[in-house]
Homo-oligomer: A and B are copies of this chain.
Amino acid sequence: MSQKPFVSAQEVAERAGVSRSAVSRTFTPGASVSPETRRKVVEAAEVLGYHVNHLARGLMLNESGIVCLIVSEMGTPYRSSLIRAVTQQLQDAGKIAMLVNTDRSDGSVDLALRQAIRYRADASIILSGMPDKSLTQLCLKNGQRLVLINRDDDQEGPLRINLDDAAAAGRLVTAFLRAGCRRLAFANSEAGTPSLMAREHGFVAAAKAMGLEVVVERYGPTGYESGRVLAQRLLTLSERPDAVFCATDLIACGFMDAARHQFSISIPDQLCVAGFDDIEQAAWSSYQVTTFAQPVEAIAREAVTWLGSDDAEDPAARNHSVRLNADLVWRSSIRGG
């Protein structure tokens, strides 16, 4: 392992005939270096293949430039698109993303957060699960920023980015009614994520306000297969629903496939379906599912700009929460429009 180490500023300094400091200053924007020495340093660095050591730099400045992304099921379309957006914006802001996988097990997020602390990440962005409160407090106490995306939590300190899941779900009820639907159903997974539950409750509440009951069914993980199972359960009821809101586009895809191929139901003629997330597949012509768009770019922008801003000191900004809208994307899985 102990290979000959990377080339250091010392070596560059010697080759350029200047001091270490000059090398450092050359690569520090805004530092005072004469054009002549800068030229010599850059030249020597080029020849030797010198790159500033960000480990040492982070040690010195107490600012590593690393942002830790904590996420489970990253192979899923919505998650991966969010990872892509965040990673890109971090890069544009001169930072770099560290990726940590979590699974459903309990201590998993805690372990991930500990990893973030070990590498002295400037911030952690949590896309899945919730860490223990004492651990988040530790992060904050040590000056590490925290961003919680779609995690309902009222701690002070972290930036909390949330969607108007409930409100969006509510708007869908009127859309279903306008399409002439009366027997509403909600197809959810058993994950119990805050956003999933908000969609469910928002939908049920809005329906109730209109004097309608909603059949709620929950099954398995949040994915395509669960959608199929949910279809089998909901479409074999004696009072078969004529409108189903699926908690997720993946669920919606599974639901629609089962409805069409197994029950020979025509969508949207006999059954209206809606989803959430606006994943790429929702736009595929086999599905064309009406859905709510996750504003991934906006989410990423909010997170990254907050990380870049210096309002950690500002006590007013300590309790920062952002609520974004999920716009309805109208496609042909609901009648009318």
Contact = CB atoms under 8 A, between A and B. Distances in A.
Interface in A31-88: 49, 51-56, 58-59, 61-64, 66, 69, 74-77, 79-81, 83-84, 87-88
Contacts of A5: 62, 142-143
| Copies held by the complex | 2
Contact of A98 (B2, B99, B114): B99
Interface residues of A, number: 66
Contacts of A88: 101
Contact of A120 (B55, B61, B100, B281): B55
A54 B96 contact: no
Contacts of A257: 284-286
Contact of A87 (B6, B52, B58, B99): B99
A261 interface: yes
A19 interface: no
Contact of A261 (B51, B81, B117, B285): B285
A128 to B, nearest CB: 13
A133 interface: no
A257 to B, nearest CB: 4
B114 A63 contact: no
Nearest to A115: B96
A101 B117 contact: no
Given A3-B143, A51-B114, 15 more contacts: A1-B61, A1-B62, A4-B142, A52-B118, A55-B56, A66-B119, A69-B99, A74-B80, A74-B83, A75-B81, A83-B99, A88-B101, A97-B98, A258-B285, A260-B286
Interface of A: 1-7, 49, 51-56, 58-59, 61-64, 66, 69, 74-77, 79-81, 83-84, 87-88, 91, 96-101, 114-115, 117-120, 138, 141-143, 224, 228, 253-254, 257-258, 260-261, 280-281, 284-287, 310, 312
